[in-house]
Amino acid sequence: MGPVTSTLTPVISSPGWELLAALEAMPDRADMDPMRLGRSLREQGVAPDVAAGVLAQLSLRDRAESKFGRFARTMVLTRDGLEQATRMVVAALHAQRFLDAGATRVADLGCGIGGDALAMAGLGLGVLAFDVDEDAAVAAAANLRAFPGASVRRGDARDLEPGGLVAEGVDALFADPARRTGQALGARRLLAPEQWSPPLSWVLGWRGSFDRIGVKLAPGVPHAALPDDCHVQWTSVDGDLVEAALWTPALAPEGPGRSARVIRSGRSHILREARTGDGGAAEGDARDLRAHGASSEVRRAPDGPIASMVAEPDPAVIRAGLVARLAEDLDAHLLSPGIAWLTGDDLPGTAFASRFEVLDVVPLRIAAIDRALALLDIGRVEVKKRGADVDPQAIRAGLRLTGSGEATVIATRVAGRHRAVIARRCRSSAPHD
């Protein structure tokens, strides 16, 4: 990668690297006070930049455990790279697609700190990774140090030529375009694919040279911007929407269309709907989808009166536009047009939604909610909202909550009117196959 001038140099070179490893090996590392440890290092004569770098890595590794598990304790990280990195459980699924499709060497364009490259290399794939950011490239190289078949170069993906990659044995691409403005412009998220770096059309323009292309997308990507012949999957982990990814046909055995992958407690569940050829997204929370630039041509679930139970679809299901598909599976309907809350009697357990038993429905006013909660002997509440312009914290702060039970207050619309649904969360959900 040429001369190393990265801000990570004090950590990846001696004596910082050895000091970081020594601190990681200490049995009481997790209980160390960072300020006290910093003072101790300075008293031992450790250079200030080395001490600061080592302390920063320990802190980042603590945060990274939720994404990378035990691998985090040996990784070199950057703050931005950690925020944007793919969770290891998801990266492993990406890597498996390439392996199953017969790929042998993958070019990882915009590799960041190397999370996806690490998963690919771990499955025995060759990896040629690129990132324009020097710190990211240095971190990725350090994280891939144990894999002789993986290499990292600093460079802009748009300067690459397909023929050059093919000559180096590359037979598949994975791209993670930058989807934020720079700090000078407020570090805003960019939802329009042509504003990404590189743009989505540029990445897909390489299909003439590579059959196997995967692209990590913003979860709010407009459905109308997606190619008809590709498969796009939205993924959530334990209720958090973490990504969308596009796969060309050679990497998509499920065929063209959209799916939601819901990972809960380590188990993966998939809800899928094939593309219907209407050029738009399938149904879902139409208001939510339009707010993020998606096509308004959606297949909507029917709506109807509130029943004895309500269900909140997983965010991956909503973003994938599969609320109507889920409604069909559950024999449910929408509480109100365009709002992703389902309702029905005896809704079966599913990994694709959280279920609630309806206790009462009242006007969306603090006094009315308070009276209903008092009659139900409720003293602890969670407040959820969808389709209502209210502040859940303000609602909760205004309640007296004198009872002993617990409930969920759902601020939403029922048959188009603002209502508060008082409900009790169903704790168990059977897997949905």
d(CA 95, CA 71): 16
d(CA 91, CA 70): 15
According to the model, what pLDDT value does residue 347 have?
96
Whether pTM exceeds 0.85: yes
Label the pairing between strands 240-247 and 231-237: antiparallel
Q: Are 259 and 272 in contact (CB under 8 A)?
A: yes
Q: What is the mean pLDDT of residues 62-88?
A: 94
378's tokens: 């409720």
Looking at every residue in the chain, the average pLDDT score rounds to 89
According to the model, what pLDDT value does residue 29 have?
78
Task: Report the b/e string of 336-370 with b at 16+ CB within 10 A.
Answer: bebbbbbbbeebbebbbbbbbebbbbbebeeeebb
* Percent of all residues in the chain with a pLDDT value above 90, rounded to a whole number: 78
According to the model, what pLDDT value does residue 101 have?
98
pLDDT tens by residue, 374-431: 999 999 999 999 999 999 999 999 999 999 999 999 999 998 899 999 999 997 655 5
pLDDT tens by residue, 236-267: 999 999 999 999 999 999 999 999 999 998 89
pLDDT tens by residue, 53-68: 999 999 999 999 999 9
According to the model, what pLDDT value does residue 427 have?
79
Res. 181 pLDDT band, cuts 50 70 90: low
According to the model, what pLDDT value does residue 190 have?
76
Q: What is the mean pLDDT of residues 213-239?
A: 93
Q: What 3-state class would DSSP assign to 240? A: strand
81's tokens: 């790279």
Beta bridge partners of 218: none
Task: Kindly write down the DSSP assignment for every residue of 273-284, as one continuous string.
Answer: EE--SSSS--SS
Q: Could you tell me the maximum CA-CA distance found in the chain, to the nearest angstrom?
A: 74
130's tokens: 């690129």
- The interaxial angle of helices 34-43 and 48-68, nearest 10 deg, is 150
Q: Is the pLDDT of residue 357 over 70?
A: yes
Res. 178 pLDDT band, cuts 50 70 90: confident
Q: What is the mean pLDDT of residues 37-57?
A: 93
According to the model, what pLDDT value does residue 242 have?
95
Beta strands in 103-149 (DSSP E): 105-109, 126-131
According to the model, what pLDDT value does residue 187 have?
58
Neighbours of 35 (CB within 10 A): 9
Res. 274 pLDDT band, cuts 50 70 90: low
82-274 has which CATH code? 3.40.50.150
Res. 229 pLDDT band, cuts 50 70 90: very high
Beta strands in 7-154 (DSSP E): 105-109, 126-131, 150-154
Task: Read off the DSSP letter of residue 180.
Answer: B
Q: In terms of Cα–Cα distance, which of 214, 215, 91, 202 is closest to 157? A: 202
Determine whether 170 is exposed, middle or buried from the number of CB atoms within 10 Å of its CB (0-12, 13-18, 19+).
buried
Q: Which amino acid is at 219?
A: P
Res. 272 pLDDT band, cuts 50 70 90: very high
Give the DSSP H or E segment for 367: helix 366-375
Q: Which amino acid is at 194?
A: E
Give the DSSP H or E segment for 62: helix 48-68
d(CA 228, CA 261): 19
Q: Where are the domains of the chain?
A: 9-65, 82-274, 309-425
Q: Which amino acid is at 292?
A: H
d(CA 47, CA 227): 53
d(CA 432, CA 93): 20
Determine whether 315 is exposed, middle or buried from the number of CB atoms within 10 Å of its CB (0-12, 13-18, 19+).
buried
Q: Is the pLDDT of residue 276 over 80?
A: no
Better-scored residue on pLDDT, 196 or 358: 358
> Phi/psi at 9 (nearest 5 deg)?
-55, -40
Lowest average pLDDT, out of 34-38, 72-76, 205-209, goes to: 34-38
Q: Is the pLDDT of residue 432 over 80?
A: no
Res. 191 pLDDT band, cuts 50 70 90: confident
Query: Would you state the torsion angle of the CA atoms of residues 232, 252, 155, 205, taken in this order, to the nearest 10 degrees?
Result: -80
d(CA 298, CA 281): 5
According to the model, what pLDDT value does residue 283 have?
38
